[in-house]
Amino acid sequence: MDKTLEITLNGERREIPGNLNVAGLLTHLGLRPEHVAVEINRDLVTRRRHAETPIAAGDVLEIVTLVGGGAPAPDIEPPALTIGTHTFRSRLFVGTGKYGTLELMRDCLEASGAEVVTVAVRRERLFDSQGRNLLDYMDPTRYTILPNTAGCFSAEEALRTARLGRELLEGLGNPGASWVKLEVLADKRTLLPDPVATLESTRVLVKEGFQVLCYTSDDPIMARRLKEAGATSVMPAGSPIGSGQGVLNPNNIRIILEDLKAEDPDYPVIVDAGVGTASDVAIAMELGCDGVLLNTGIAGARDPLRMAHAMRLAVEAGRLAAGAGRIARKLYATASSPTQGLVGRD
């Protein structure tokens, strides 16, 4: 019978064949020398000394490696977003106002990756000082144009504007002709939505065959009423239009999501207004929103083109994080490395 000897290996008593050196032990254990570090009796045995360092009975050995976690990369391609009869890959919706030049607007739309752009319907400024029209810088065959009723302060104004927008887009052959982003504002100082006029307008437009994407406050009850009225999407404000304050009341947004998606998980809820920077977009997406609509956050940035890139990436990051599920918030620390197998601790 071959001679054996007893050692302590990583805190456990163990018998190994006699007359082994460190190199032989690693081979016996099926370990690759470049993947481990070895101590004998608390003295480091460098890799160059493995073959010349014998192991004696009673030796205390530590063999350590690097540990962590990991898994094959998941399929992270986001599912398409369906809003009424429209389906998109991008979940970022951007506006076309407030840019210094039409060229900058065009480049920012490209950088944002958006497939939907929202435009106001106006009777003035059909052309700029050089005779150029907004549509000269926005290919209506590439983007789905979402006309909005921005600046309307009554149901009558909003309905007229929506009908004019549909007429205009039908002439262009754009697929956005059947839908409208409905805004009916209460006053010019806050630009908050008028809930009564908004609900009234939604009901009328739905009867006329519009797919209504409805701008509203973050009131869960109002959101529910608008969905019941037939709104294709409810779009709660993160904060007042153009304020850059981000999502001020995430709890209400959570309630809206929970309520509107209870019977239809695919019902689209899109945060609209108040976004100031990319982290605001990520927060909205992490809450579980289906998309974010913004304008000033890009157009008003010091570097709009760079911010457009940032907003696109924030939507993607927030959506992935929402699907991944954040860890629970804890009062005390939890080590990320395992506490088992610490060197010299039995």
Query: What is the CATH number for 168?
Result: 3.20.20.70
Same domain as 93, residue 13: no
Asked if residue 237 belongs to a domain, the reply is yes
Q: Judge whether 332 lies within some domain.
A: no
Tell me: the pLDDT tens digits for 174-207?
A: 666 688 999 999 999 988 999 999 999 999 999 9
Residue 330 lies in a domain: no
Which pLDDT band holds residue 345 (cuts at 50, 70, 90)? low
Annotated active-site residue 181? The verdict is: yes
Whether residues 215 and 173 fall in one domain: yes
* Burial of residue 251 (number of CB atoms within 10 Å: 0-12, 13-18, 19+): exposed
Q: How confident is the model at residue 228 (pLDDT cuts 50, 70, 90)?
A: very high
224 and 310 in a single domain? The answer is yes
CATH number of the CATH domain containing 48: 3.10.20.30
Looking at the predicted structure, is the pLDDT value of residue 155 above 60? yes
Q: Does residue 133 sit within a domain?
A: yes
Could you give the number of structural domains in the chain?
Answer: 2
**Per-residue pLDDT tens over the stretch 58-94:** 999 999 887 655 555 555 666 889 999 899 999 999 9
Residues 22, 112 within the same domain? no
Q: What pLDDT digit, counting tens, does each position of 239-289 carry? A: 988 888 899 999 999 999 999 999 899 999 999 988 999 999 999 999 999
121 and 248 fall within a common domain? yes
Residue 45 lies in a domain: yes
43 and 104 part of one domain: no
- The predicted model scores a pTM of 0.75
| Domain ranges, residue 114 | 81-324
pLDDT value of residue 11 = 86
pLDDT at residue 325 above 80? Answer: yes
Cβ proximity of 204 and 237 under 8 Å: no
| Within a domain: 30 | yes
294 and 212 assigned to the same domain: yes
Are 219 and 153 contained in the same domain?
Answer: yes
The predicted structure's pLDDT at residue 135: 74
29 and 139, same structural domain?
no
Catalytic residue among 98, 181, 261, 330: 181
**pLDDT tens readout for residues 18-56:** 889 999 999 999 999 998 899 999 999 999 999 999 999
Same domain, 102 and 48: no
Same domain, 93 and 53: no
126, pLDDT greater than 80: no
Same domain for 257 and 310, yes or no, is yes
313 occurs within a structural domain: yes
Q: How far apart are CA 342 and CA 346, in angstroms?
A: 8
What percent of the chain shows pLDDT beyond 70?
Answer: 88
Instruction: Give the percent of the chain with pLDDT over 90.
Output: 59
- Is residue 97 domain-resident? yes
